[in-house]
Every structure is written in structure tokens, then in C-alpha cells.
Chains A and B, each alone.
Chain A
């Protein structure tokens, strides 16, 4: 393999695009919470960029992308410890350092996505511990199963008994429907079940404090998502181009259908609906983006806009406080997208995919997609629940009642987002140690 400067240049750019998605997500979520908790929301997302990046370089990349260990469950942890020099080539003439960094950004945003389910009540320190453990025990193995050549990537492959030739089949997930969205969505559900509902929910309505932030965040997400999907080809080629156009049209279609649902159901098409619809479309097209035609992408996006808009009602029906609808958008949208490959997938699109049900491929790929969805749902839910429960018992994941009512920002971070009315303040000490009042620290 020789270094390919075209592919490498695209992967460098795509990495920067995907990295920006997490600040975008922070604002998408931050606008939806109340003003007393916006900094806590932003911090939960930004700290994922801190903790996951460091862990990834130390060894998570090996666990996710190293050669198979334990029958395809995990990658060999000895492969890329500390990325070694990072100058060797990984795939398509792109250096390992570039691919590993590209993958950091996926691991970051998957952890960050979870925080939408648990807004307004999560303690900061225990959350940092949760993200660390979760990235090692839940994210890295699932990434290996699907992208690292693990058991889901090989699932259903047929070995010819006489010739020994292997017909490679497997669960298809182009950019992260199972690894990122279903994984984060079901983990969010598990974490919110451990934490419990916010005080006053659902009777007390908790109105988004800044809808323009939500729109800004959604715009940044869409921008970065072009790198997420088109970059997942790991090369600058025509499949990346297909993923690019699909990430635009599916998203557009989903925004439109979400707005139509709102107009019919509620009487108005809302800004929050436009932002939510476009994210639902991006989620749904993510796994399928390299496997379907642009027209297929429009159908998938249109379906996601309707299904996810209606899925918001699930949390009220079952009474779990998924605060910012991670289940409705990421879990349901991710499942829809992952299964859609079994219907809309076409081998002709990139030569590696399988024809789906609508293109004469029968039920084979749909069946394999069900296995992928089911495996990620079960593994992520159970492990996330156990990790969260243990941390909760040992350290306490949820803030106290007083802190929750007064707001997380001043209590967890000794800051407030908005200086309303230019209220006076003066230095109480030049030492950072005593600048925080003691009683507020105990959150």
C-alpha cells in the first residue's frame, strides 16, 4: 500500500467536520434545556471530547480496530497502544493516525449523544467516570463487531465446503446506525431508567430556553455530518459522493415530513420541529448512506421524519423521562435506518452492499440487519444499565433535590450562562480555591 494523498486529504478534512458535530450537538441540546442548566449540558458534551480522545489514543483504537480476539468480540489491545508512531498506513493509503483520529470523533459523539436523555439531573464527576467505563466496555466492542471486522461484520458469511472460498456477508452499517445511534439511544434509555424522572416531569412543562441555539446546533450537525457519512468511506471516491448526496436529500426529506406531521397534528410547523426532523433524517440515513440510491435516501428520510415525530409520544406513554428525545430520534431513527438497508440496499451502489428486499435480494440482508440491531440493543442496554447502576450505588449519579431545583450551572460549575441585567459581582478572593462558596460545591 502506498500513501494516497487524495484519500488522506479528504480524511483529514472529514475528521475536522465530524469533530465539530459535538459542539454542534452541545448547542442542539443546550438550547432545549432550561437556562439554569445550559452550561452543565454543554460541559457534559465538551468533556466527552476530553476523556474519549485521550482513552482512544491510549488503547481504545486497538480494542475497536485491532485484529479479532475472543471470536470477533473485541480487537487485540496490543495492536496500536498509544498509536505507536501512527505513520503506518491503515486502509486506502491513509495513515493510521488519520483513521484513528477520524474514529475518535465518532466515539466522542456517541457518548455525547447519551446526555440528551438525562438532561438537568446528572452529576458531572460520576458522568465523567461513566463515559470512561462506557467507552471501554460498550462502545469499543460494538465498534469492533461492526467496523473492526468483528462477529457482526462476518455474520452469515458462507464458506464453500469444497473450495473453502468465503462469500462475505454481514451486517451493513455504513457510518454508524448501530454503533453510534442505536447504541447511544438505548444507552440513554438505560441511563434515564437508572436516574429516574426530573422533579415535576411530566406535569411541569420544561420549555426549551433558546430555540435559536437548537437551530444553530442542528445546522452545525448537518454540516459536520457530511464528513461523518461521506468520510466513512475512508476514501475520496464515488461511494463517498453517494453518501454525500444521500446525507443531504434524506435530511431534507425528513425535515419536510416532520413539519408536515406537526402541521397536521398540532396546527403549526415549528422551528424545533425543523431542527429535530433534520437530525432524525441524518440519523436514519447514516447506516444506509453508502448502500442506497439518492431516491432510496429520500424515502428513508421521509419515513424517518414521520416515524420519529410520532415516536416522541412513547416517553409520555411509558412514563420515562428521556428529556430531549434521544430515544425517539436516535434509537428509533437508528433502527429505521439500519433496517432500511434490508429494503432499499442495492449492490450496484458501491459493489460491496447486498440487494435488499425491494431490489430482488430477498430477506437475507434484512435478516442480518435485524441481528445487528438486536445484538447492539441487548448488549448496550444491559451493560449500560449495569455500569450506571454500579456508579450510582458507589458514588451517586444524580444531583440532590436542591441542586436540581436551583440549577446545575451554579452548583456544579460555579458559573451562570447569562448575566441578566448586568448584576453586580466582585472578587471575593484572588485564589481560585476559595472563589467558590463551600456549600454550593456539594452537588
Chain B
């Protein structure tokens, strides 16, 4: 099993969610996040004073998948989140030792 984490632009969340549902992913966790990559932040102006805002709002999407599906799901996220402009975000995956469904106690892939 793998945990795929995607940090994408907030307004692409619906596109990614729909694409993942269409692919057959049954669940995900979404949280608001902030950060920056190579695009850095942006400048805001309050009463003439400039403020460098380093951390840009993003959403973090986390999906647990079977090993076989990792590449496909990553592709789905990349395709649906892409605008081609700087600041589109990142997607990565890491191995997961075990997963337990709290309601039933099922373990491993059957808990996905």
C-alpha cells in the first residue's frame, strides 16, 4: 500500500476530487495548507506598506491506494490539477506499513 500526498492549488480541488472519484478512489482526506515552492510568495500592500507573503494557500489531498494503482492515481491527480503555470504544486507517494478500518478492525488492503 502507498500513501499519495498531493499539494495543489485550492481552486483545482474539485477537479481532482471528481477525477479521483471517476477513477474509482473511494476515499480521501483534504486539508487546507500553506507553503511555497519555487514560485515563492506574493506581495500585498496595506496603506502603502508592502508585505511579502511567503506562504501561499494550498490544499493537501491524501489518498491511500493499493501498490498497483499508485502510478495511475498519481497520473490522474497530475492531469486534473495541472494549469501549466508556476505554483501548480507537488504529488508524492510513500510506502504504508499497515492500514486499519476503525469500524471493523479489518487490516491491510481490505481496509482501503
Contact = CB atoms under 8 A, between A and B. Distances in A.
Interface in B33-55: 44-53
Contacts, number: 31
Contacts of B52: 205
Contacts of A356: none
Nearest to B46: A272
Interface hub of B44, B45, B46, B50 (most chain A Cβ within 10 A):
B46
Contacts of B45: 262, 266-268, 270
A273 B44 contact: no
Contact of B47 (A267, A268, A312): A312
Interface in A24-50: none
A207 B51 contact: yes
Interface string A295-326: 00000000000000100110010000000010
Contact of A325 (B44, B47, B51, B53): B47
B3 to A, nearest CB: 22
B59 to A, nearest CB: 15
Interface residues of A, number: 17
B48 A266 contact: yes
B22 to A, nearest CB: 30
A422 B32 CA distance: 14
Interface residues of B, number: 10
A426 interface: no
Interface hub of A266, A273, A309 (most chain B Cβ within 10 A):
A266
Given A208-B46, A268-B45, A309-B47, 17 more contacts: A205-B50, A205-B51, A207-B44, A207-B46, A207-B51, A262-B48, A266-B45, A266-B50, A267-B45, A270-B46, A272-B47, A276-B47, A312-B47, A312-B48, A312-B49, A313-B48, A316-B49
25 contacts: A205-B50, A205-B51, A205-B52, A207-B44, A207-B46, A207-B53, A208-B46, A262-B48, A265-B48, A266-B45, A266-B48, A266-B50, A267-B45, A270-B45, A270-B46, A272-B46, A272-B47, A276-B47, A309-B48, A312-B47, A312-B48, A312-B49, A313-B48, A316-B49, A325-B47
Interface of A: 205, 207-208, 262, 265-268, 270, 272-273, 276, 309, 312-313, 316, 325
